[in-house]
Amino acid sequence: MEPSVTLYYQTTDYGMFKMLEGNRLLNESKINKILADIKGGTNLLPHYPILVDSNMNVLDGQHRLYCAKKLKLPIHFSVSMVRLDIFKIARINSRVERWKMKDYLNCYMRKDFKDYKMLSNFMAKYGFNINVGMQLLRNPKSIGDGGGGAYTKEQFESGGFKVYDFELSIKLADIIKDHFGFFEKSKNRQFVREVCKIYFDKEKGVQELIKLSKYLKENEDERTKLHQSNNFKHYFNRIVEKRLEQAV
């Protein structure tokens, strides 16, 4: 077996390093923690070199580089001779400190992935969290059927997220916003799923959602019980049944 030798370097020429397009944004709390450790006498920068490619793009260690530059300390680094794209870099960084879904979203937005930009704008407009937003855009009919919107976490992380039917997703989001915006859990994943289920029910559809909205508005006690219920789906269906019984 041949011995493996890794060469490490150090410099205070911070301008030689480049931030890789698509890497996750700097985290202020992480920066503050590293700065506090160094100022408190625990400078681990020499023991954890940053990793760069042959073009001096930072593959791992952008927070350490930022802190070294801020405190005017030498930055230690090693050079990878292996060609890595942003997908592999995300995987490497995720092993060290797991990337959140928001990190992947920001990464692919900066790489100009259209569907990820649509997701971000959709979330900003309607206030859905990333998981609900993804599922509504991916395939809302699948949510109503009890599925996960034909979406997998691996697809999203590898840049494979695609919008299924944007106009349909907007229509459903508008219904939730316009008719159920008064309800605190209207953006909750379970609530959205039940709304989709009714919307795609040929015998109920939009008119039933409008009537359900009116019923919930007029029944504060029911809203409170639904909000506090440990079995949201069960209680939601009970409310739907009550409303239908009253309509008979």
Res. 146: pLDDT tops 60: no
Let me know whether 95 and 150 are in one domain.
no
Give dist(CA 141, CA 150) in Å, integer: 10
pLDDT in tens, 173-215: 999 999 988 888 889 888 888 888 888 886 678 888 888 888 8
pLDDT for 137 equals: 92
55, 76, 99 - which closes a domain: 99
Full domain range(s) for residue 91: 8-99
- Has residue 2 been placed in a domain? no
pLDDT band at residue 243 under the 50/70/90 scheme: low
Question: What are the φ/ψ torsions at residue 198 (nearest 5 degrees)?
Answer: -65, -40
CB 17 within 8 A of CB 26: no
| Tens-place pLDDT, residues 80-103 | 876 766 666 666 665 556 678 888
- Decide if 163 is inside a domain: yes
pTM score: 0.62
Kindly indicate the confidence band of residue 4, based on its pLDDT and cuts at 50, 70 and 90. Answer: very low
Cα separation, 186 vs 182, in Å, equals 8
